[in-house]
Structure 1
Amino acid sequence: MNWKNGITDYKNYLRIERGLSDNTISNYARDLIKLVRFFEKHEIKNNPITITKEEIQKFIYEIAKEVQPRSQARIISGLKGFFNYLIFEDYRNDNPTDLIEPPKIGRKLPDTLSEEEIDRLIAAIDLGHPQGERNRAMLECLYACGLRVSELISLQLSDLYFDEGFISVTGKGDKQRFVPISTHTQKFINLYRNEIRVHSAPKPEFSNTLFLNRRGRQLTRAMLFTIIKDLAVKAGIQKTISPHTFRHSFATHLLQNGADLRSIQQMLGHESITTTEIYMHIDRSQLSDVLHKFHPRSKEN
C-alpha cells in the first residue's frame, strides 16, 4: 500500500462507514498529506504499513514549530485515527502514534454576543438592498435555531415545517434532527420566501434551496462570513465574530434563561453532552445565586 491509495481508502471508510461530512474528511486528508510531504522532503521511504513511531515523532516535532497546540492536537488525533483504521483493516498490528501525547491545551470558551449586540447586527442590515431581506432572515434563523453555517446554507424549502413549528436540519454526518422555530423567525423567512425569493430564478439543481445568491445558487460559507463581518463593522462591534458566534450565543442565552442542558444538546445536534457542557461557563456567575435560592441550608431562618 502506498500513501495515495491509503488516504483514498481511508476517505472512503470515513464517508461510508463513519458517515462523516465532506468538510471533516477533507480536514483529515489534508493532515495526512502534510505527513506525506514531510516524508518526501526528508526522503523517508516508508509507506503507511512500515512507517515507525520515530518517523512520526520527527513529523510532530516539525509541525510543533509551525502550528498552535490546538492544531497539533487535531493533527495527532487524525493520525491516530488513520493508523487505527489500518489496524482495523489488518494492514498493521500496531499504531505508531499510540505513545505520542498531544500537547496540553485548555478548553477554549466560545465567543458570544449579547442580546443587544445581536439586535444591533440585525438592525445594521440595509433592507433596501436586494439581499437585505434574505440576510435578515438568515441571521434571525442562525440565532433563533442555533444552526451551523453548513446547516443554514443547505436548508431546503421542503425542510420548513412551520405549521408544526419545526425545521428539519441536516447536521454532521448527514444526521437529521428537528429544531423548533419561533413564529418571530418564521415571519422573516416567510417574508423573504414569499416576497423576494419568488422573483429569483434558481438554477435547476437549487430550485429547493431556501437561501439563494444573486446567481440563483446556494450561498457559500465564505459569503456568509463576509456578510456577518461587514455587518459587525457597520454595527460598531469590535469582537471577532463569525456565523458560529450566533450558534454559541443561541446556546448561551438559552442556558442563562433557564433551559436545561439536555434540551440544548438536542437542538444543537451534539452527540455528546460534554460538548454542550462548554456553555456552562456562562452560568458561573449565577451559581452563587442558585445555591442561595434553592439549597435548604442557604435559606435564612
Structure 2
Amino acid sequence: MKNWIKFIIDYKSYLKIERGLSVNSVENYSFDINRLVNYLSDSGQDISPLKITEETIQEFIYSISSELNARSRARIISGLKSFFNYLVFEDYRKDSPMELIEVPKIGRKLPDTLSVEEIDNLIKAIDLSTNEGERNRAMLETLYSCGLRVSELISLKMSDLFFDEGFIKITGKGNKQRFVPIGNYTQKYINLYVSTIRNKLEIKKGHEDTLFLNRRGSGLTRAMIFTIIRNLAEKTGLNKTISPHTFRHSFATHLLENGADLRSIQLMMGHESITTTEVYMHLDRKFLNKVLNTYHPRK
C-alpha cells in the first residue's frame, strides 16, 4: 500500500509541527490509519486515500466491531476523521469519506477524585523523619495545588520556579508551556525541601536543575511517584484506587466546587479543548444544584 505511505508521513509531520502533539499522540493517530491500511491489504483492495469511499470505510469499521468495544471504535473513527480532514485541508481531496460516519455513543468515564480530607490524610501519613518524606510532602502538595500531570511534576526544574511572581512554568503535552499559579502554602514546602534536603544531595550530572531528586541525586520516574502514592493509600486505609492523576482531577473538581470558572481551570490544567475540562461539570450533581438554587431567578 505504497500510495498511503507518503500521506501518512506528511500527516504525522503536520501533527507534530502544526499541532504540536507529542510523539506518543502522533503514533496513536497513525496507528489508527495503519489499521485501515492493513484491512485493505488483507482484503486485496488496492485503494488510495484519495479514492477510498465511505462504503469501504464502513466495511472496515464493521470488520473491527466484534473485536473492539465502543470506546476503542470511537477512538479509531475520530483518528480517521482527523486524517481525512487533513487531506481535505491540504486540497488532496474535495470531501471526507468520514462525514456521515457516526461515532458510537459512549458514556463519559468520570475521573476518580479525593475529598480535601482524604488528601490531607494522605499527606499527614508521610514519614517526615526521612529525607524522602520532606520531598514527598512537597511533591504531593505541588501535584494537588497546581493540578500537574505526573510527567510535568518529575520534569519540573529549579529554573521553572517564579515564586516572587507566584507562578511556576510547566512544560506539558507536545512541549507546550504554561504558567500555573502556586500558593504560599506550597511554596513553603518546596523551599523547605530545597533548603534542608536537596541542597545536601550529591547531584548527578544532567540533573543540576531538576527540582525533585531521588536519594542518589537523579530524577524520579513516573513509577516511583505511583508507588509513593499507592503506599500512602494503603497506610491510611483508603479504599480507592488512586494514582498521581487523581490529585490532578481533585484539583479541578475542588476549584469548580468552590466557584472557579471552567476557562480558568482549562488554562491552569493545560487542556487544549474546553471540552476536556467540561468533564468536571459531571462530577458533582449536588454542586450543580447549589449553583442553580443560588443564581437562578426562579430558585
What TM-score comes out, normalization by structure 2 length?
Answer: 0.85
Q: Kindly provide the CA deviation profile for residues 208-259 of structure 1, in whole angstroms up to 9, marking residues without a partner as x.
A: 2222345644433344333323332333222222222111111111222233
Q: Distance in 1 between matches of 2:291 and 2:282?
A: 14
Q: 1:32 to 1:219 in 2, by over 3 A?
A: farther
Equivalent pairs, count = 298
| Cα deviation, residue 115, structure 1 | 1.1
Alignment-derived partner of residue 176 in structure 1: 177
Pair 1:16 & 2:14 matched: no
Q: Distance in 2 between matches of 1:20 and 1:135?
A: 30
Q: How do residues 220-259 of structure 1 correspond to structure 2 at under 5 angstroms?
A: 220-259=221-260
| Cα deviation, residue 128, structure 1 | 4.6
Q: How do residues 211-290 of structure 1 correspond to structure 2 at under 5 angstroms?
A: 211-213=212-214, 216-290=217-291
Q: 1:280 to 1:90 in 2, by over 3 A?
A: closer
| Cα deviation, residue 157, structure 1 | 1.0
SS at match of 2:197: helix
Q: 1:82 to 1:196 in 2, by over 3 A?
A: same
Q: In 2, are the aligned partners of 1:255 and 1:283 still within 8 Å (CA)?
A: no
Q: Distance in 2 between matches of 1:215 and 1:2?
A: 51
Letter in 2 for 1:234: K
Q: How do residues 143-222 of structure 1 correspond to structure 2 at under 5 angstroms?
A: 143-213=144-214, 216-222=217-223
| Cα deviation, residue 141, structure 1 | 0.6
Q: Distance in 2 between matches of 1:61 and 1:201?
A: 58
Q: How do residues 86-97 of structure 1 correspond to structure 2 at under 5 angstroms?
A: 86-97=87-98
Q: Distance in 1 between matches of 2:238 and 2:295?
A: 37
Q: Distance in 1 between matches of 2:297 and 2:11?
A: 56
Q: In 2, are the aligned partners of 1:167 and 1:178 still within 8 Å (CA)?
A: yes
| Cα deviation, residue 139, structure 1 | 1.3
| Cα deviation, residue 165, structure 1 | 1.4
Q: Distance in 2 between matches of 1:50 and 1:216?
A: 56
SS at match of 2:31: helix
Q: Kindly provide the CA deviation profile for residues 79-102 of structure 1, in whole angstroms up to 9, marking residues without a partner as x.
A: 111122223333333323222211
| Cα deviation, residue 291, structure 1 | 4.7
Alignment-derived partner of residue 29 in structure 2: 28
Q: In 1, are the aligned partners of 2:54 and 2:98 still within 8 Å (CA)?
A: yes
Alignment-derived partner of residue 111 in structure 1: 112
Q: How do residues 59-138 of structure 1 correspond to structure 2 at under 5 angstroms?
A: 59-128=60-129, 131-138=132-139
Structure 2's unaligned 5+ residue stretches are none
Q: Distance in 2 between matches of 1:68 and 1:221?
A: 28
Q: In 1, are the aligned partners of 2:110 and 2:283 still within 8 Å (CA)?
A: no
Q: In 1, are the aligned partners of 2:145 and 2:182 still within 8 Å (CA)?
A: yes
SS at match of 1:155: coil
Q: In 2, are the aligned partners of 1:261 and 1:277 still within 8 Å (CA)?
A: yes
Q: In 2, are the aligned partners of 1:144 and 1:185 still within 8 Å (CA)?
A: yes
Q: Distance in 1 between matches of 2:222 and 2:47?
A: 38
Q: Identify the range of structure 1 (213-222 vs 77-86) with the bigger mean alpha-carbon deviation.
A: 213-222
Q: 1:109 to 1:295 in 2, by over 3 A?
A: same
Q: Identify the range of structure 1 (190-199 vs 178-187) with the bigger mean alpha-carbon deviation.
A: 190-199
| Cα deviation, residue 112, structure 1 | 0.8
Q: Distance in 2 between matches of 1:227 and 1:154?
A: 17
SS at match of 2:138: helix
SS at match of 1:56: helix
Q: Distance in 2 between matches of 1:61 and 1:218?
A: 46
Letter in 1 for 2:80: L
Q: In 2, are the aligned partners of 1:87 and 1:95 still within 8 Å (CA)?
A: yes
- The sequence identity of aligned pairs, in percent, is 66
| Cα deviation, residue 111, structure 1 | 1.5
Letter in 2 for 1:93: K
